[in-house]
């Protein structure tokens, strides 16, 4: 019945990936430019493997891309899914603003029906 209920849609994967402060910090760092795992690990009290785990979640969500060079594998930000999030959250507010604007008009109508001028 619900179009959303049956599959894990890409937006849900994005939200899951974003629901962690370390992963958001990694994305903030990558917004300034490509970085290696070692560079990404340095601001955190975290091992390389722990950071790599976060990077895998981000990669699966399509939020980052990793280079092919075995040694460096620099990470870069992929903006597409973030844009979808921005659109969805914008939609969330638009949903309510559109409703309330219509309710303003509808209430005027109800008032007039109660006490026709």
Number of residues that bind other proteins (CB under 8 A): 38
Which 76-115 residues touch other proteins, going by CB under 8 A?
A: 85-86, 88-108, 110-111, 114
Q: How far apart are CA 2 and CA 74, in angstroms?
A: 40
**Which residue lies nearer to other proteins by CB, 8 or 45?**
8
Q: How far apart are CA 73 and CA 52, in angstroms?
A: 11
25 binds other proteins (CB under 8 A): no
Q: Cβ–Cβ contacts within 10 Å for residue 24, how many? A: 13
In angstroms, give the least distance from the CB of 21 to other proteins: 9
Candidate list 8, 32, 45, 116; residue touching other proteins; CB under 8 A: 8
Q: Hey, what are 99's tokens?
A: 């409703």
In angstroms, give the least distance from the CB of 10 to other proteins: 11
44 binds other proteins (CB under 8 A): no
**Is the distance from CB of 46 to CB of 22 less than 8 angstroms?**
yes
Burial 43-68, CB ≥16 within 10 A → b, else e: eeeeeeeebbebbebbbebbbbebee
**Which residue lies nearer to other proteins by CB, 50 or 103?**
103
List residues near other proteins by CB under 8 A.
1-5, 8-9, 12, 15, 18-20, 85-86, 88-108, 110-111, 114
């Amino acid at each position: 019945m619900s179009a959303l209920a049956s599959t894990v849609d890409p937006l849900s994967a994005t939200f899951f990936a974003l629901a962690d402060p370390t992963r958001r910090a990694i994305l903030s760092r990558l917004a300034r430019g490509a970085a290696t795992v070692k560079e990404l690990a340095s601001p955190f009290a975290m091992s390389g493997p722990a950071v790599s785990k976060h990077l895998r979640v981000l990669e699966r969500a399509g939020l980052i891309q990793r280079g092919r060079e075995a040694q460096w594998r620099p990470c870069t930000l992929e903006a597409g899914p973030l844009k979808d999030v921005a659109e969805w959250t914008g939609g969330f507010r638009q949903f309510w603003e559109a409703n309330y604007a219509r309710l303003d008009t509808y209430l005027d109508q109800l008032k007039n029906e109660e006490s026709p001028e």
